[in-house]
């Protein structure tokens, strides 16, 4: 992977989280972009940006690679939905026990994304205690 591939991945990520349509280069190395995005846990945002650019191209939407991207984005969204449901159950349990708790760091950052499911997360930091 080249530095240029990293720059393009960051560009697609930025477009994805801001709900902007990227400019796809004619010789875009989409395979490298997907690999880098997966390695850096930003695949949903990069895929979303790429699909956004292709959304009005009927021929592209029939392409198997595009269908694979759509499946990846759907799987990421389902994973994030399930994860958020589990977090809510934990926070509700704290509330039911009259204990204070709040989410820290990453999960609160997802509010900066145009679509929460575009942010991949491996864990959730919850702070609980008397001094919240």
Quick: pLDDT tens for 24-40: 888 888 888 888 998 88
Q: Is residue 15 pLDDT above 90, yes or no?
A: yes
**What pLDDT, on a 0 to 100 scale, did the predictor assign at position 56?**
74
pLDDT above 80: residue 101: yes
* Whole-prediction pTM: 0.68
Supply the pLDDT for residue 13: 92
Q: Which of 130, 120, 118 is nearest to 52 (CA)?
A: 118
On average, the pLDDT of the chain sits at 82
Residue 105 phi, psi dihedral angles, 5° rounding: 55, -120
3-state secondary structure of 127: strand
Kindly report each contact of residues 19-27 with a partner whose C-beta sits within 8 Å and lies 24 or more positions away, as own/partner: 19/52, 19/114, 19/115, 20/49, 20/52, 21/49, 21/52, 21/53, 22/49, 22/50, 22/52, 22/53, 23/53, 24/50, 24/53
pLDDT, tens digit, 9 for 90 and up, residues 103-132: 876 666 666 676 666 676 777 778 887 766
Decide if pLDDT at 6 tops 70.
Answer: yes
pLDDT for residue 110: 65
The three-class DSSP label of residue 112 is helix
* Of residues 43, 14, 25, the one with CA closest to residue 113: 14
Contact criterion met (CB below 8 Å) for 81 and 88: no
Q: Which has the minimum average pLDDT: 37-51, 77-91, 103-117?
A: 103-117
């Amino acid at each position: 992977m080249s530095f240029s591939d990293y720059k393009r991945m960051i560009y697609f990520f930025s477009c994805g989280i801001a709900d902007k349509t990227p400019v796809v280069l004619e010789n875009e190395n989409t395979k490298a972009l997907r690999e880098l995005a997966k390695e850096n846990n930003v695949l949903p945002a990069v895929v979303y940006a790429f699909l956004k650019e292709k959304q009005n191209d009927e021929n592209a939407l029939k392409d198997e690679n595009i269908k694979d991207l759509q499946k990846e984005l759907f799987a990421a969204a389902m994973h994030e939905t399930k994860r958020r449901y589990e977090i809510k159950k934990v926070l509700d349990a704290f509330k039911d026990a009259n204990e204070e708790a709040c989410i820290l760091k990453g999960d609160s950052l997802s509010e900066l994304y145009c679509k929460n499911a575009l942010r991949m997360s491996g864990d959730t930091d919850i702070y609980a205690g008397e001094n919240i």
